[in-house]
Amino acid sequence: MSYQSTTDYDVVGVGFGPSNLALAIALDDCARQRRLTCRSLFVERQPSFKWHGGMLLPGSNMQISFLKDLVSLRDPTSPFTFVNYLHKSGRLLDFTNCKTFYPSRIEFNDYLRWVAGQFSAMVEYGETVVAVEPVGAGQSVTALRVVTRTEEGTETSRSARNLVVAVGGVPHVPAVFQPIARDRRVVHTSGYLDSPVVGAMHGRALRVAIIGGGQSAAEVTLDLGERHPDVRIDLVFRGHALKPSDSSPFVNEIFNPDYTDYFHSREESQRRAIIRSFRNTNYAVVDPELLDQLYRMAYQQRIAGAQRLALHPRSEVVGTEAGPEGVSLEILNKDEDVRHRATYDAVVLATGYERSPIPAFLDPISRYIETSALERDYRLQTSPGFRPQVHLQGCSEISHGLSDTLLSVLPMRAHEITASLLSGTGRQRGPEQDMAARILVEAAAGRE
């Protein structure tokens, strides 16, 4: 079944997570200030708004100040601030009494959903973008055809003058787990809370392996230990110890929006060195408070003589097999070069996320893309004659820095992309190629 939409959009956003939510606010602000109507649409795969729903654990907190919400750093007077959300929810004073900059993830998800609700007229939920095709003749491309598919297989195509992609990461399943990845007993943390296997563990002395040593691994370990106290957990990770994330103030300045200018202007080798040097701000590290909680949990179990959490550092899974008796893992202890096999009732992969520099649904326009490196304004560099602007959010850590996949720079990034869409000024664009953005202004002005 397919359906052809006749509507022409000035901007289509792919994905409606925090990045494109921030963009919706920035476009709205800009349209109001300039008294324009920007016809924008966001297409979201999920049936309704949810921010990493599989990990909305009761004890999990934000890892960033609420002041770094969708808009405050750009415009603290905006109605879309976290503070205004608290005010409207009647919890401003109570939140203040909590004396924290780090709300629970459940509350922040509610804030994001509250903002998303105010843009519901311009979002199509339950549709996945499967292809973005060129519209035009020869080398001249004037618009994009954005093809989406629902779970039931209904296809819709819409015409867009500009595209902003913000699709986040996809769960990383290491090669050794690929043969058993479809087994229902193997769960990635992104689907942890939704997994029927996790739900069915209550009151049963099951054995669970959690793979990885980052924030997700630590959060799931604590949650599982508290949620299902009878479960025995093996935490298997390659590092020497679980390590704390560095969120100290001088280091944290790498997440300031103006650091992006510095970072983007460096040589690639320098940028890679910076990412290596600051990896412990974000990857394979755990919030120090959570580390203390985990340590205390293991210690209390020792006092009680019922050690149910076992840490396996310097260990790597080198073989997997799923059978009727459980999921069997071959684990290599890298210190002693010794292998052992253990069988589990469930395996949780806390092995992080992957991000491709250019998502596969852009393949139909790949011949117009000159390089995967993005301009400073997050725009794909395309060949002359390709008029639409395509911006990518969250795909350019290597060119824009470690803040690219996080919430740190969302308001400023959204502002920069909006400004770029409106000005159309680009390194390789002459007046003729500035069409895409001019159309945005003119089309909008024509509708006033």
Ligand X SMILES: Cc1cc2nc3c(=O)[nH]c(=O)nc-3n(C[C@H](O)[C@H](O)[C@H](O)COP(=O)(O)OP(=O)(O)OC[C@H]3O[C@@H](n4cnc5c(N)ncnc54)[C@H](O)[C@@H]3O)c2cc1C
Binding site for ligand X (CB under 6 A): 14-20, 43-46, 51-52, 55, 62-64, 128-129, 166-168, 361, 393-394, 405-408
Residue 136 in contact with ligand NAP, rule: CB under 6 A: no
Q: Are 360 and 222 in contact (CB under 8 A)?
A: no
Torsion angle, alpha carbons of 218, 221, 227, 229, to 10: -140
Which of the residues 218 through 257 are near ligand NAP (CB under 6 A)?
219, 237-239
Q: Which of ligand X, ligand NAP, none binds 283 (CB below 5-8 Å, type-dependent)? A: ligand NAP
Interacting residue with ligand NAP among 352, 388, 424, 426 (CB under 6 A)? 352
- Binding partner of residue 238 among ligand NAP, ligand X, none, CB cut-off 5 to 8 Å per kind: ligand NAP
If the CB atoms of residues 216 and 396 are measured against ligand NAP, the closer one turns out to be: 216
46 binds, among ligand X, ligand NAP, none (CB under 5 to 8 A by kind): ligand X
* 320 sits near ligand NAP (criterion: CB under 6 A): no
The residue (of 14 and 417) whose beta carbon lies closer to ligand X is 14
As measured in angstroms, the least distance from the Cβ of 226 to ligand NAP is 15
Distance of CA 34 to the CA centre of its chain: 31
- Name the minimum Å distance from CB 155 to ligand X: 13
Which of ligand NAP, ligand X, none does residue 136 bind (CB under 5 to 8 Å by kind)? none
Cβ 318 to ligand NAP shortest distance, Å: 9
Cβ at position 360, least distance to ligand NAP in Å: 21
Residues 158-217 that bind ligand NAP (CB under 6 A): 174, 189, 211-217
- Find the shortest distance in angstroms from Cβ 16 to ligand X: 6
Q: Does residue number 364 form part of the binding site for ligand NAP (CB under 6 A)?
A: no
Which of the choices ligand NAP, ligand X, none does residue 19 contact, using the CB cut-off of 5 to 8 A by kind? ligand X
Q: Which two tokens stand for residue 99?
A: 């004396």
Partner whose footprint covers residue 351, from ligand NAP, ligand X, none (CB < 5 to 8 Å by kind): ligand NAP
Q: Minimal distance in Å, beta carbon 285 to ligand X? A: 13
* Choices 69-77, 123-131, 299-307, 351-359 (CB under 6 A): range interacting with ligand NAP: 351-359
Give residues in contact with ligand NAP (CB under 6 A): 55, 60-63, 105, 174, 189, 211-217, 219, 237-239, 282-284, 316, 350-353
